[in-house]
Amino acid sequence: MIRYTLSCDKDHQFESWFQSSNAFDALALGGHLSCAVCGSVAVTRAMMSPSVPAKSRASDLKTPTSGAEKALTKLRKYVEDNSDYVGPSFADEARKMHDGDAPERAIWGEANFADAKNLIEDGIPVAPLPFMPKRKTN
């Protein structure tokens, strides 16, 4: 995994993790990246200094070490335990619930930028999660 500092065309900076440099390039070229602040899809890698990991024990690598990693792990567990994963049908399921065609419940899944934007514009509350489904990670 590699962490990049990203920047949008409105100079917002944020960080995200990618499987590899090639994975970042493929997502960027496919228009699958958006600014975490404003939603712009004009996202590039920002200038950043290299990260040199400190020497650690193998056991340290098995558990989250930073407060942010622990919080992210806790958030993932809460979401997985308290909501239904609906995968790529997230936008359809959210719209059905909003329109009263499906029972309301907590859901999470995947949506492309255009679908998420349409949901927000139609007054359907959605929020991005800072992690991918486990099946999509290494």
Strand order in the sheet with 2-8: 13-18, 2-8, 43-45
pLDDT in tens, 64-112: 567 788 888 888 899 899 999 999 999 999 999 999 999 999 999 998 8
Q: Distance (Å, rounded) from C-alpha 41 to C-alpha 34?
A: 4
**Rounded Cα gap, residues 105 and 98, in angstroms:** 11
Residue 137 has pLDDT above 80, yes or no: no
37-47 pLDDT, tens digit per residue, is 888 888 888 77
pTM: 0.51
Domain parsing of the chain, residue ranges: 2-45, 64-127
The predicted structure's pLDDT at residue 54: 63
